[in-house]
Structure 1
Amino acid sequence: MEELALILFSICLQAAIGLMIFATLAKYLYKDASYKVAVVSAAALAVIGLLASFLHLGQPFRAVNSLAHFATSWLSREIWLTSIFTGLTVVTALLLLFKPASQGLVRTFMALAAVFGLLDVYAMASVYTSTSVSAWNYSAVTVEFYAAAISMGALLFLTLSGSEGSKVRQPAVIITGIAVALQVAAMVGYYIQLGASSSSAAQQSLALLSGMSGAMAVKWLFILLGTGLLLFPIQKQQLSVNSSGQAAAEVAAAGLSGTTIYIAAALLVIGQIVGRYLFYAMMIASRVGLS
């Protein structure tokens, strides 16, 4: 179905963007680490997402035609930015695989990919907030897209970077917590605004959403549970610092590795996927098209 291609595109691209953001930050902080697995995984996700976008458009020539409308079309900007981000990420992965000594070049391409990725998330959200689908015409969509990219990217980075990522584990977890908190706050406001809307299309979308309360519960349960699994050890670490000093803090931080991170990442990613399904399932009015 068409929505499956959209889910695959948006989730894979946003996860790849989040991965590159955290890999870039970690690389600039710890230049000796390569983060090769994380970057190669980001490149693979970006390519999968880009291919899925062509499946959504149906005919590749439609995408080529839309490239000429960068100044007026958010879809055109999204295609350009997605292509640039994917290209930069793939080049970075190739450099790490075949020219690992070119560290300066690697950092440059990583930083460029992260910047274009952040711009791409905004373009992706704007494609929907500028359509005639009333349920999408809210700034909460932009917040949710950024929160998904940051939270998925952070946890996938911790999962894929192994011991190299241990040095940035605590800030990555804290950033994830902040991103999810902002997502929750934005969506609470969104549900209130949608309920108060006078648009019949928005009310139909809300009715559809109400009929999928089970999926909605799964979305938030998984996202919050995944985040909670990470934040509890952070609280435990803080208590250890207060009572036993820095050494105890390091031991507690190490306890976050392994199974806990994998489970938390799986829960959060599944929750975001379910949320993206709900996002497309509540579409009422004209579909997103080329403009």
Structure 2
Amino acid sequence: MQQAGSTIEARTSDSAPGEIWPFTVTLATPAIGAYVSDIDLRQPLDEPTYLALRRALIRYKVLFFRDQDITPAQHVALGQRFGKLEVHPVIAHHPDHPELVVFDKSDKKRGRENIYHSDVSWREVPSMGSILRCAECPPTGGDTIWVNMALAYENLPAEVKARLEGLIAVHDLMPLFGSMLPPEQRITVRAQNPAVTHPVVRTHPESGEKLLFVNEAFTTHFSNYAEIAGYRFGFDLKLAEMDLLQYLFRQAAAPEYQVRLKWEPHTIAFWDNRATQHYAVQDYYPAVRRMMRATIIGERPV
């Protein structure tokens, strides 16, 4: 499906001259995102289509598919084609498919995903990617924004990049998810999911890009800021650390790095969690918005 004002790449890829892709790609923005058409995700992906989709994902960072009326079982199978799927410890699951989390929002349950984040960055081995399908969309609103975190890092001032060398950040699920749990479950989830550390700047394992890998949902602080920055006074150190972290968080809010999707029923978004952050706009309450997501396990960030 061609979007107004976009550029069609047809069935070729300028990243590999002469390569023919078994689907059509339509750019969403110059910075990030592409619409993929002439593909039926109800069918198992053959090897050439799988490899081409993986290359497209790495290049565009988020892929959008319209009119894909797939079943939950087909959704799981699509995700498993790209790797092992995780089971989320907090968010509700599909009754027949624990690998599918269900975001079921209505006048009885307001959405709360309106914060820039990378899915499950709080895991020791975070996500490679997520596949989200709209089962029931609000008549208006409920868009999702994705951010190119390679561009966010690339455009940082040189002096900021120098300050980030060797910095390690702490990621934790409890500040966001702990409030959703009763006290007894909170203790169990905490024990099973301790806070973890990841480099502030990670290297994409497939593209080699440098990526800014902190997010305001799950990153709590730097684990080695005093070691890197040097110590003067305690208050001076902590304020400087907080200022730097907040500055890095704000990079995701730059429109120049973003793409915004207006959902329609049976639309699917497939994004690279290593290279992006996203934000679900909560402007549709009290309308119904029902989504299902499969999340593919990735690799330890380096």
TM-score if structure 1 supplies the norm length? 0.26
Greater RCO (CA < 8 Å, at least 6 residues apart): 2
Which has the larger share of helix? 1
Higher normalized strand content (fraction of residues): 2
Compute the TM-score of the two structures, normalised by the length of structure 2.
Answer: 0.25
